[in-house]
Structures are given as structure tokens and as C-alpha cells.
């Protein structure tokens, strides 16, 4: 039977047997003697006792009621004896820089715990504590938190507040050491308190403590930087998207100008006979004018939150300013005339022109008469086939006498080519960049072949009688077909193109690929053979025989209740009959 004592460590009561009590008392006396020369001995001893109390609490959780001598021995092993530590300058100087580095690495072998780092906090110390726990740069963690707050639409802010409430803050020296994963012993506790005292007594702390105004400005500056960084990130993302869109538009403009011109014919009509080189420089100037400030804003935001600021920061901003001025010069040199035209006549999405007249804003509906358009009659040899490209609109009329007219800007007429080669009328633009609105009207009594490409459009204004007609539609083009009668109609549609057909035909052979669409429900046929792939769709009407083959995500809808049917489907495709 052993005596037990009741002791109080850091305001926590423990029961301890007499042997353990004597060993603990002897250990604390030895530690106190080791620290007798330290002016902050009382603070160090308080933190050491707090750490011992924490370790005792962990051991008492294991279904123990009384602290034994084995527990005290274990605590002493963790905390270390004063005799183990070198405390004099002479002994410290005997170690080489290599051993000092090794000691620093060894000091971080303890288990880590996550605390809020209130010493380096901006708000609650959540980010700085996580940075200390992960051994990351604080600025990096704060940037990640800002990005998460943005992409989660504010949800992460609630998570941050919960972490602020739940995670304890590092108050004692032991907790600050655990936060960084350093061993908690007598020497490390002493060092962290001494370092804190030296900082408090330093000129830097005194200047900060004596200047409340400076501290307020520092906090305000930090908050402004955080807000500006967030705003910069938002503006930067939007700006990057805008610049990427401009670059992609420029690439498409160079490779497939028909697609762009077909989308905005009235806008490109403003360019008129502007040279292609000027148009390219004009678009590049827009990229520089918009993209350079975006780059500078992102660059400034990254440098604002980074502690590593060097002269290259200013160099990058000077380079950005130079590129922006180059963009301004290019814009003025190449786009001034076009800009004046656009300012003079602003066309909105409803086709209304807004303009200044005697210091008043007026409007009128846009039509071709508002620009310098010309209809030119042209003589060409006889032809039986037509090929259209370059985003040109063609209208076909059924008439005995052959005719051809071209309507576009006066200065652009010479760019529209209408040539007959081996009985094929080829209609295209020689200007591969700028293509204003172009309308070609053709009168003929028969046609055997029609090819439509490059975002062009062909409309049959009258019904035609044909024996055999081959049609090839590609490149986001469209054809509106009207037939009185046809023995055989062979159609190929590809590349997001569209066919609308009505009338009568004995046989329809249809091949459609890509994301094309065929609306032939008003075309009455006897036999239809349809082959679809990709994401195409077709509506057909046939009364006697239907043969359908579909793949990918394509679909066919068949009306007319054909007596003979043949179906082949694969993937997510479908064939449906409206019986």
C-alpha cells in the first residue's frame, strides 16, 4: 500500500503516489535550477507545467486513476532532462553548421496538431495555422482560400467560419511547437518564450506598439490587398476568357472567314474594301488593348500577395505598358476609319441604326439602301450545275431565259467571281478575309447538280422539274429546296448544315453526317434510303419503301406509312414511324 497525494498542475487536479510525487518534485526543481539565470523563468515553468499536465491527462484517459512513477519517467523522457541540453555559448559554438542543420531537422520529428496561428493571423488564424501545419507558404494558402471562396460561390466562407469556431488557437508555447511539428521539451519551450521576449524588446516591436496609427494602416492595407486580389482574380478570369475568345475568333477568321462573316454580315459590310492586312492588324490591336491590362492585373495581384518582390515585378509592368501602347497605335492606324463608320451608324441586334443628327440621337431600320450597295447584271455561258461558297446567299428562280445578278457593296463587286467551267457555275469570293452581305439571283429552267459550302445559303424561290438532282451541302450551309417533280434526288449533308425540302420525288437517297439536320417531311417520296451518323437528324415522308441506317446519336422520323421497311440502328440512335 502506497500513499497518494493530490497535486494541482495548470489548474488541473491529479492523484499521484508518493514515489512519483518525489520524482516529479525533484525533476521540477532540477528544471528550475537550470533556468535560474533566465529572467522569464516563471513563464517558462508555467508552460512546462502546462505541458506536463497535458501529458498526464492523456495517460489518465487510459483507465487510470493515480499517476505512478512509470508515468513520471515517461514524461521526463518526453520532456528531457536539463543535463541533456547545451546551455552555454561555448558549447553551442563547438557544433558545426552541419550538425546545427541536422538538429533543426530533428526538432521537427514530433507529431503535429492543427491550431489557429493567432500570431500571424489576418482574420482568425485559420489559414496561417494550416500553413504552419502543412509547412506551406502562408501566401499560397491564402490564395487557395480566396479561389475556393470564389469557385464555391461563398460556400467556403461558411466552412472557414466553422473552422474558426471549432479549431483551437495556439496559446501556450507547447501548442505553438505542436502546430509546427516540433518536439515539445524544456529547451524548445524555453527557446520559444525567449524568442518572443526578444521580439517584444526589439526596436521593431516598440515602433509598432508606439504607433497605433501605423498598425491600423497596416491592417487596412492588408484588407485592401485581399479585396483587390479577389477582385483582380474575378476580373482576371473574365479577361482571360475574353482574350481567349478574341484569339479563337482571330484563328477562325483566318481559317474559316465564311463562318464569321455569315454570322455578322451587316458588321462586316462596314469594312467594305478594307485590305485583309489591315483587318488582321485591327484584330491584333484589340487583343493587345484588352489582353495586356488583364495580364498586368493578374501579374500585380500575384506580386501583391507574394513576399518575394524583386525588380522584375516593375519590369513586367513596363513591358505590359509598352505592349498596350503598341495596341493603341495599331488600333488608331488600322481601325480609325472603321471605328468612325461604326460610331456614325450603330446597328443593334434588331437591325436598327442609331446615329447622331444635330446633337440628337435618331434611329431607322437598317436595309441595304443605307449602305453603298449595287446590283450588277452579269453575262455568263450556259450552265447546268452550280457551286456556291464564301458565305454567299443565292436565290434560284424557274424561268426559260437564263439570268444572273450580283448585289453587294460597290467596292466589293470585283471580289465576287461568277465563272462557268465545264458547264458548272462557280460563285465565290476572291477576298478570303472580309465578306460583306452578298446576294446572287439566278434564273434557269433546269439544274442537275448543286454544291453549297462555306456558310452559304441557296433558296429555291420557285418549284423546279428535274429528272435527277445531286445536292452536296457542307460547312454550316443551308439549302431550301422546292420541286414539282423529280425522278431521283441524291443528297449529302455534312458539317452542321441544313436542308429543307418540299415537293414530290420518286426516290430520295440521303446521306447525312456530323450535326446536320434534314427537314423533308413535306417532300413526298415513294422510296427513301437514309443513312445518318454522328448527331444528325432527318424527317422524311415516304409511302412505299423505307431503308434506314443510323448510328451515333442520330435519329430519323418517318411519316407516310411505308409498306416496306428496313431498319439498322446502333449506339444511341433511333428510327421512329408516325403511323
d(CA 527, CA 529): 7
What is the pLDDT, as a whole number, of residue 14? Answer: 82
Least confident of 146-160, 361-375, 430-444: 361-375
Residues 389/391/392/393 CA torsion (nearest 10 deg): 120
pLDDT at 539: 97
pLDDT for the residue numbered 314: 65
Q: What is the mean pLDDT of residues 84-90?
A: 47
Nearest-5° Cα angle at 368, 362 to 373: 125
Report which listed range, 81-95, 235-249, 420-434, is most confident: 420-434
Cβ contact 40:192 at 8 Å: no
The β-bridge partners of 421 are: 424
Task: Quickly state the pLDDT bin for 554 (edges 50, 70, 90).
Answer: very high
Query: Model pTM greater than 0.85?
Result: no
Cα(470)–Cα(410) distance, rounded to whole angstroms?
34
Kindly report the backbone phi and psi dihedral angles of residue 119, in degrees, each rounded to the nearest multiple of 5, phi listed first.
-75, -30
Is it the case that residue 528 has pLDDT exceeding 80?
yes
Q: Share the mean pLDDT of the chain.
A: 76
| pLDDT interval class at 43 (50, 70, 90) | confident
* Structural domains in the chain plus CATH codes: 221-347 (no CATH), 384-577 (2.160.20.120)
Query: What DSSP string describes 237-265?
Result: HHHHHHHHHHHHHHHHHHH-HHHHHHH-H
Residues 45-81: tens digit of each pLDDT: 777 777 788 777 777 766 677 888 888 888 777 777 7
Task: Tell me the pLDDT band of 361, cut-offs 50, 70 and 90.
Answer: very low
Residue 271 has pLDDT above 80, yes or no: no
Report yes or no: 345 and 332 within 8 Å, Cβ to Cβ: no
Amino acid at each position: 500500500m502506497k500513499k497518494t497525494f493530490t497535486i494541482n498542475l495548470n489548474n488541473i487536479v491529479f492523484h499521484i503516489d508518493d514515489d512519483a510525487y518525489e520524482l516529479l518534485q525533484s525533476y521540477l526543481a532540477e528544471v528550475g535550477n537550470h533556468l535560474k539565470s533566465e529572467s522569464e523563468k516563471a513563464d517558462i515553468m508555467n508552460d512546462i507545467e502546462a505541458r506536463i499536465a497535458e501529458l498526464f491527462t492523456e495517460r489518465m484517459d487510459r483507465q487510470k486513476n493515480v499517476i505512478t512513477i512509470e508515468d513520471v519517467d515517461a514524461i521526463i523522457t518526453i520532456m528531457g532532462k536539463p543535463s541533456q541540453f547545451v546551455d552555454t555559448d561555448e558549447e553551442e559554438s563547438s557544433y558545426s553548421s552541419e550538425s546545427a542543420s541536422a538538429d533543426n531537422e530533428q526538432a521537427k520529428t514530433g507529431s503535429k496538431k492543427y491550431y489557429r496561428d493567432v500570431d500571424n493571423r489576418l482574420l482568425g488564424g485559420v489559414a496561417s495555422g494550416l500553413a504552419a501545419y502543412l509547412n506551406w507558404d502562408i501566401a499560397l494558402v491564402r490564395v487557395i482560400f480566396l479561389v475556393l471562396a470564389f469557385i464555391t460561390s461563398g460556400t467556403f466562407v461558411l466552412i472557414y467560419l466553422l473552422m474558426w469556431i471549432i479549431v483551437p488557437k495556439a496559446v501556450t508555447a507547447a501548442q505553438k511547437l505542436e502546430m509546427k511539428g516540433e518536439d515539445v521539451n524544456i529547451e524548445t519551450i524555453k527557446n520559444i518564450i525567449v524568442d518572443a521576449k526578444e521580439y517584444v524588446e526589439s526596436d521593431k516591436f516598440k515602433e509598432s506598439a508606439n504607433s497605433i496609427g501605423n498598425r491600423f494602416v497596416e491592417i487596412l492595407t492588408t484588407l485592401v490587398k485581399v479585396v483587390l486580389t479577389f477582385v483582380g482574380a474575378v476580373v482576371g478570369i473574365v479577361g482571360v476568357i475574353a482574350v481567349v475568345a478574341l484569339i479563337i475568333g482571330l484563328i477562325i477568321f483566318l481559317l474559316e472567314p465564311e463562318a464569321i462573316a455569315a454570322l455578322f454580315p451587316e458588321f462586316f459590310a462596314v469594312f467594305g474594301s478594307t485590305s485583309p492586312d489591315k483587318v488582321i492588324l485591327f484584330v491584333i490591336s484589340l487583343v493587345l488593348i484588352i489582353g495586356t491590362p488583364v495580364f498586368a492585373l493578374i501579374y500585380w495581384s500575384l506580386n501583391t500577395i507574394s513576399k518575394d518582390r524583386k525588380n522584375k515585378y516593375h519590369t513586367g509592368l513596363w513591358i505590359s505598358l509598352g505592349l498596350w501602347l503598341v495596341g493603341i497605335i495599331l488600333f488608331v492606324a488600322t481601325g480609325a476609319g472603321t471605328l468612325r463608320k461604326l460610331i456614325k451608324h450603330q446597328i443593334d441586334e434588331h437591325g436598327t441604326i442609331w446615329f447622331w443628327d444635330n446633337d440628337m440621337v435618331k434611329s431607322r431600320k437598317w436595309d441595304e439602301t443605307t449602305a453603298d450597295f449595287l446590283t450588277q447584271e452579269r453575262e455568263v455561258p450556259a450552265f447546268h450545275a452550280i457551286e456556291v461558297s464564301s458565305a454567299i446567299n443565292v436565290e434560284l428562280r424557274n424561268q426559260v431565259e437564263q439570268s444572273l445578278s450580283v448585289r453587294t457593296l460597290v467596292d466589293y463587286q470585283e471580289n465576287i467571281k461568277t465563272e462557268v467551267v465545264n458547264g458548272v457555275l462557280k460563285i465565290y469570293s476572291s477576298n478570303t478575309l472580309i465578306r460583306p452581305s452578298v446576294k446572287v439571283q439566278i434564273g434557269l429552267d433546269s439544274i442537275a447538280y448543286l454544291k453549297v459550302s462555306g456558310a452559304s445559303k441557296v433558296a429555291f424561290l420557285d418549284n423546279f422539274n428535274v429528272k435527277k438532282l445531286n445536292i452536296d451541302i457542307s460547312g454550316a450551309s443551308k439549302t431550301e429546296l422546292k420541286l414539282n417533280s423529280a425522278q431521283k434526288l441524291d443528297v449529302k449533308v455534312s458539317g452542321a448544315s441544313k436542308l429543307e425540302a418540299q415537293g414530290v420525288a420518286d426516290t430520295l437517297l440521303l446521306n447525312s453526317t456530323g450535326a446536320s439536320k434534314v427537314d423533308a417531311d413535306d417532300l413526298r417520296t415513294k422510296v427513301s434510303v437514309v443513312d445518318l451518323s454522328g448527331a444528325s437528324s432527318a424527317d422524311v415522308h415516304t409511302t412505299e419503301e423505307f431503308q434506314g441506317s443510323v448510328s451515333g446519336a442520330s435519329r430519323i422520323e418517318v411519316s407516310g406509312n411505308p409498306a416496306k421497311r428496313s431498319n439498322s440502328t446502333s449506339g444511341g440512335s433511333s428510327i421512329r414511324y408516325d403511323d
